[in-house]
Amino acid sequence: MSPSPPESTFESIAARAAPAVFVVLWSTGFIGTKYVLAGAEPLTYLAVRMVLAVLLMGVIAAIYRAKWPNRTDVMHSAISGLLVHGFYLGGTAVAIFHSVPAGLSALIPGLQPILTSTLANRWLGERVTPLQWTGLLMGLAGTLIVLHGRSLSGDAGWGWLATCVALISITLGTLYQKRYCSHIDWRSGNFIQFVAAGLLFALGAWLFETRVIVWNREFVFGLAWLVVVLSIGSIGLLYWLIRHSAATQVASLFYLVPGVTAIMAYVLFDERLDMLSIVGMVICAAAVLLVNKSTTPARKA
């Protein structure tokens, strides 16, 4: 048997590493948001972020001569962008801005796999096996253990509402992306999504915020990280995973986000990280392995 070509070996390694890389990159979003919100209100910061993301993705699409979608696919991309980027990022940023603790923000990805699997079972026809349901419930338990003892109170009801909006929108957004946008070139598709979300944030900032920005070092570095690493890197990985995996399997990766975020917060902000939290992280990791145990494509109901 002849050895595999180097390109094939590299692609295989990259495909195996993609879920872990996605979890780490996605987890940095909570840390980066905490930095940038010290320099701007949430919708103002997000409007600037989307402008920069549009410019960067436009350059990438032009360089690689991305195929542009037809009118119907433009509409689908815009709707997906409003859900994944608009209401999810907006809800998360508004919640953190209103002092909703990191513990409650981390519950968003902790609850998302259960909601995604329930909807995917009905909307996409993906069969969720009993073993996968066991893993999903185990992951939820692990998430709650990671967040034990953390205050879940916010200083305003708007923060709680924004958290619920973020949870629902990221769930619907990933399912919508799976069903209607998987065939669209990710470069041109993301460009359209960033434009749609940017218009939403600009309107919101103009109506409800002062639009004052403090251009200090923390804001600039945090903004650059969120644009390049999150909006381009992690979103590109997320959509690649959605295209190549069942929605339930992709959603299960979000169980790992609270634990990774907790480790980052421990290193950067000296937040508490005890043995029980570490046990919760191990349970979450085991849950993801259970949900992704089957290597065969998801069967239709």
pLDDT of residue 6: 52
Q: What is the pLDDT of residues 243-301, one digit of tens each?
A: 877 666 776 777 777 778 777 877 776 666 677 777 877 787 777 777 666 544 444 43
- What's the whole-number mean pLDDT along residues 35-53? 95
Residue 22: partners with Cβ closer than 8 Å, 6 or more residues away: 234, 237, 238, 241, 253
**Any domain includes 233:** yes
**Any domain includes 15:** no
Q: Determine contact, residues 103/144, Cβ cutoff 8 Å.
A: no
**Any domain includes 16:** no
Q: Which domain holds residue 284?
A: 25-291
- What's the whole-number mean pLDDT along residues 75-98? 91
pLDDT of residue 296: 44
- What's the whole-number mean pLDDT along residues 124-152? 70
**Any domain includes 3:** no
| Confidence band of 110 (pLDDT split at 50, 70, 90) | low
- What's the whole-number mean pLDDT along residues 198-202? 97
pTM: 0.78
pLDDT of residue 114: 67
pLDDT of residue 136: 72
Domain count, the chain: 1
| Confidence band of 95 (pLDDT split at 50, 70, 90) | confident
Burial class from Cβ neighbours inside 10 Å (0-12, 13-18, 19+) for residue 101 reads: middle
Say yes or no to pLDDT of 140 above 80: no
Closest CA to 230 of 93, 73, 44: 93
Q: What is the pLDDT of residues 228-255, one digit of tens each?
A: 999 999 888 888 888 877 666 776 777 7
3-state secondary structure 221-270: HHHHHHHHHHHHHHHHHHHHHHHHCCHHHHHHHHHHHHHHHHHHHHHHHC
pLDDT of residue 207: 96
Q: Which residue has the tokens 């996968």?
A: 132
**Any domain includes 13:** no
**Any domain includes 9:** no
pLDDT of residue 50: 97
**Any domain includes 133:** yes
**Any domain includes 8:** no
Mean pLDDT, all residues of the chain: 80
